[in-house]
Amino acid sequence: MTHKNLTIKEIAQRSGVSISTVSRVLNNSPSVSNEKREKIQAVIHENDYQPSMVARSMVSKRTHTLAIIAPDINNPYFTDLISEIELIANQSNYSILLFNTMSAGNRKVETKDSIEISVFKSILEKQVDGIFILGGDIDKEDLSESYLTALNHLNSIIPVVVIGQYQNGVNCHFIDRNLKYGVTLITQHLLSLGYRDIGFIGGEPKIKITTERVKAFKEILSLYSSVNEETIILNDYYAKDGYQAIKLLIEKNILPKALVAMNDQVALGAFRALNDYHLSCPEDIAIVSCDAFPDADFQTPRITNVNQHNHDLAQVALTTLLFYLDTTEILPENMSQHLPELVIRESCGSKNIGGLKL
């Protein structure tokens, strides 16, 4: 038996709910009670309802498109996180519009004004439903008034979720990565292996992720040893920065027994520099990383690092954004929690390593 393809209004009438409630169910929104959801889905199933994307967007006033703003898509951290967000968004019938501001990395564009402010204006013209911000200007310790004003204006029109550290004066919702916990884990691991002469390399100064990680590193190290400021080299987040840091430490003859690198890329650059100076890791120096990137198991040596679980981070971020698309209520606190995980491999010199899982 064939059925007439119902309108959303007719589904609402047969289910005894409002049109907006039907729209939320069709958009996979979590903010609908199980009882109402079951009633609506029963009507949909009985009538073989096939929703029109055009009609759905007209009723819900949604385009089912989300924007991601990232400062450098060549950075493996952003590449991996964007991929995870897109994968999970697609499962919820959302497509992704990516804006690469090129405000970081080798292709960094130097401008007098914030590139991101221009991007905010472009996004408003695209009529997206929600926005993710992954780093960039939002990570700076000192935000300009013009950026702050533009971001808060954007958030007043379209919900914005920032995957990064909280900033005073910003009205967006933040998904904080537990930076202190991750650095503490990795530094404690080196200390447990007997290392006391430990340095830190990588990370751009005056960026919150750098400041918070270095602070946590100093706090845990000072409990068991002394902090040598000379072996803390802050430059940037890429392989060349790990290389330059090792070169500087060797030339100044202050290479420590172990190093905490900002991320796997910095560690990779450090490995190359050690090789060029006829040294090796972990025989001459142990190196670990605060941030796991894909393929750490295929480097030489395999990198001991902290897995930030980007899939979980993306899931929390998307759930948060969809929540704010449907309500102005405060998000339950436990929805924003996730914990990094220490992964022990060869570069730390430990005999107790997980090895390669195939």
Domains of the chain as residue ranges with CATH:
1-48 (1.10.260.40), 65-176 (3.40.50.2300), 179-307+342-348 (3.40.50.2300)
The answer to whether residues 53 and 117 touch, using CB atoms and an 8 Å cutoff, is no
Mean pLDDT of 45-64: 61
- Indicate whether 357 pLDDT > 60: no
Strands 286-289 and 304-307: parallel
Question: Would you state the pLDDT for residue 112?
Answer: 52
User: What percent of the chain has pLDDT above 70?
Assistant: 84
132 Cβ partners below 8 Å, 6+ apart?
66, 67, 68, 69, 85, 160, 161, 162, 163, 317, 321
Phi first, then psi: give them for residue 309, nearest 5 degrees: 55, 65
Kindly state the tokens that stand for 186.
Answer: 């990795």
The chain-wide mean pLDDT, for the chain, equals: 86
Neighbours of 319 (CB within 10 A): 18
Residue 49 or residue 341, greater confidence = 341
Question: Would you state the pLDDT for residue 358?
Answer: 28
AA letter at 229: E
Strands 95-100 and 65-70: parallel
Q: In what order do the strands lie in the sheet with 173-175?
A: 95-100, 65-70, 130-133, 160-163, 173-175
Between CA 56 and CA 50 the distance in angstroms is 11
Question: Would you state the pLDDT for residue 28?
Answer: 64
What would the pLDDT profile of 62-90 be if each residue is shown by its tens digit?
Answer: 788 999 999 998 888 899 999 999 999 99
Strands 341-343 and 304-307: antiparallel
Predicted model pTM: 0.78
What would the pLDDT profile of 254-294 be if each residue is shown by its tens digit?
Answer: 999 999 999 999 999 999 999 999 999 999 999 999 999 98
Q: Which ranges of the chain does DSSP label H, i.e. alpha helix?
A: 8-15, 19-26, 34-46, 53-60, 76-91, 115-126, 145-157, 179-192, 208-224, 239-251, 264-276, 310-326
Between CA 170 and CA 137 the distance in angstroms is 12
Of these ranges, 22-36, 105-119, 328-342, the one predicted with the greatest mean pLDDT is 22-36
What would the pLDDT profile of 312-336 be if each residue is shown by its tens digit?
Answer: 888 899 988 888 887 655 555 555 5
Phi first, then psi: give them for residue 304, nearest 5 degrees: -75, 125
Reduced DSSP (H G I as helix, E B as strand, rest coil) percent helix, strand, coil of the chain, to 5: 45, 15, 40
The answer to whether residues 295 and 307 touch, using CB atoms and an 8 Å cutoff, is no
pLDDT band at 138 (very low <50, low <70, confident <90, very high): very high
Angle (CA) 219-258-218 rounded to 5° is: 10
**Which of 48-57, 116-125, 177-186, 218-227 shows the lowest per-residue confidence on average (mean pLDDT)?**
48-57
For residue 181, CA distances in Å to 104, 166, 263, 350 come to 26, 16, 15, 21
Question: Would you state the pLDDT for residue 104?
Answer: 63
- Indicate whether 356 pLDDT > 60: no
pLDDT band at 36 (very low <50, low <70, confident <90, very high): confident
Mean pLDDT of 296-315: 90
Calculate the CA 272 to chain-centre distance: 27
